[in-house]
A and B are shown apart, each in its own frame.
Chain A
């Protein structure tokens, strides 16, 4: 599975969203109606799935689904 598909399936699983809702440009808080606890939960799930540590500062910078894709591509190079 490529990174994008993995990320989407994690978001669907951890945050109980519909796969059709989770598109790249969506903002977690403004579009998907999530809050900071959700974003934290998501970051933790990413850490586990990709076996990396995501510092809080980096989490701050993640606003959209695309941000997650970009971040992981950068970290997993």
Chain B
């Protein structure tokens, strides 16, 4: 598709101060969208994302709120919708991990991960849907994970939240398809971000052995897939879970 295929569109990317969210925000801005860069506490990182976008000649606005907090989402989304009228593209990317083996996992470690990763997608999407339904156009893109498809030791909470996002994606896709709103999930494998930078050499080697393409993915690669899903060319794709994992899980 052309250079500015998302010109005139407004996008919200949650958890956009770092990693995949950051790359998606930049890529959507590169495509011409006005991007709301949501983050929780990484104000400096978020402001760097804004700078990066402005350097490209794009438009971006900071939007700090905790996607896991119902009142905060209601308030922030209310303000956002009041000023924009409609958010055309929602990328539910905000995600946290609190790894540990299930037998020792604390209530709050389970609940918080589910509240942000799944609850956040619910709260933000619910708020954004009504104007999208009225506008008869929309794109909801949920960032799930290969881990939600295959499971992973030490990540029962994270995997549960990401697998749940898949059911959520398909249900929402069915509900709003009649309004030209597509809802899809992207399931990244191991991507070079803060989350994977924390792995030690032994862990990295072990993982790389399992990836047919023999490397981690780049956030930019996930972002380009999100950009494609946000555009008109992906108008017939909905309820899909698109893996981008180097062949790690098929």
Contact = CB atoms under 8 A, between A and B. Distances in A.
Interface residues of A, number: 5
Between A14, A35, A41, A44, the greatest number of chain B beta carbons within 10 A of the residue's beta carbon is seen for A41
A1 interface: no
B178 interface: yes
Contacts of A37: 133, 175-176, 178-179
Interface string A29-71: 0000001010001001000000000000000000000000000
A49 to B, nearest CB: 15
B134 interface: yes
A41 B133 contact: yes
B106 interface: no
A44 B126 CA distance: 13
Interface residues of B, number: 7
B54 interface: no
A1 to B, nearest CB: 23
B134 A41 contact: yes
B130 to A, nearest CB: 7
A35 B179 CA distance: 10
Interface string B122-150: 00000000100110000000000000000
Contacts of A44: 130
Contacts of A35: 178
A44 B175 CA distance: 16
Contacts of B178: 35, 37
A35 B130 CA distance: 14
Interface string B75-99: 0000000000000000000000000
A59 to B, nearest CB: 14
Nearest to A14: B134
Interface in B174-207: 175-176, 178-179
Contacts of B176: 37
Contacts of B175: 37
Nearest to B177: A37
A33 to B, nearest CB: 12
Interface of A: 14, 35, 37, 41, 44
Interface of B: 130, 133-134, 175-176, 178-179
The list of the 6 closest CB pairs from A to B, nearest first, reads A37-B133, A35-B178, A37-B178, A41-B133, A37-B179, A41-B130
11 contacts: A14-B134, A35-B178, A37-B133, A37-B175, A37-B176, A37-B178, A37-B179, A41-B130, A41-B133, A41-B134, A44-B130
Given A14-B134, A35-B178, A37-B176, 8 more contacts: A37-B133, A37-B175, A37-B178, A37-B179, A41-B130, A41-B133, A41-B134, A44-B130
